């Protein structure tokens, strides 16, 4: 099983990459999946060239292939101007049209303030729904004050559990809406009651 993390962090070290790594470790611990990380920072020039000439460079083609073949994705972006970064969006713009159809995706973002947490529901979730991915119910947003604070670990574990359930149930099969019903029930069972 393959789990791919797409990280749009720009700095080294990057809190965006750190969040992606923590989510991947939690999900892989449940599925035994092999983890591959795609650092968009390293692909920026090839992504721009793909827009102008229509052909991916060697590294971009390898990243596109990894994402297409993945059994599950974790996508993480820093928040810029209350949305995902342009580099993040550009990468998904150069994928084949149905590359993410039926693929389980966990959305996550980082930012300087908790006020930008709605980026998960107002930008990321609609983007991946449009791309026909199966977006896990729990997204993870980490503001600067979340690192080392209570709550982030619980959100990571919950989201990773939901992604793992979808990856284990769906694999790489293209999904019909009626086949999602049993997995919706599995996800509901993961949610705490009370």
DSSP 36: E
Q: For every one of its 194 residues, what pLDDT tens digit does the chain have, with 9 covering 90 and above?
A: 999 999 999 988 899 999 999 999 999 999 999 999 999 999 999 999 999 999 999 999 999 999 999 999 999 999 998 899 999 999 999 999 999 999 999 999 999 888 889 999 999 999 999 999 999 999 999 998 998 878 899 999 999 999 999 999 854 444 444 455 565 566 566 665 55
Q: What is the pTM of this model?
A: 0.85
């Amino acid at each position: 099983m393959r789990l791919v993390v797409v990280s749009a962090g720009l700095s080294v070290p990057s809190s965006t990459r750190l969040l992606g790594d923590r989510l991947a470790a939690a999900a892989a611990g449940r599925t035994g999946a092999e983890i591959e990380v795609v650092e968009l920072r390293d692909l920026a020039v090839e992504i721009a060239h793909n827009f102008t000439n229509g052909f991916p460079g060697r590294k971009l083609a390898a990243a596109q292939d990894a994402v297409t073949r993945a059994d599950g994705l974790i996508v993480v972006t820093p928040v810029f101007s209350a949305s995902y970064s342009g580099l993040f969006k550009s990468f998904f713009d150069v994928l084949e049209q149905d590359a993410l159809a039926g693929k389980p995706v966990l959305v996550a973002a980082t930012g300087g303030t908790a006020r930008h947490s709605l980026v998960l529901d107002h930008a990321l979730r609609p983007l991946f729904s449009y791309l026909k991915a199966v977006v896990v119910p729990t997204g993870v947003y980490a503001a600067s004050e979340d690192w080392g604070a209570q709550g982030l670990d619980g959100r990571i574990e919950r989201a990773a559990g939901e992604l793992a359930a979808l990856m284990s149930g769906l694999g790489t099969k293209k999904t019909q809406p009626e086949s999602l019903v049993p997995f919706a029930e599995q996800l509901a069972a993961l949610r705490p009651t009370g």
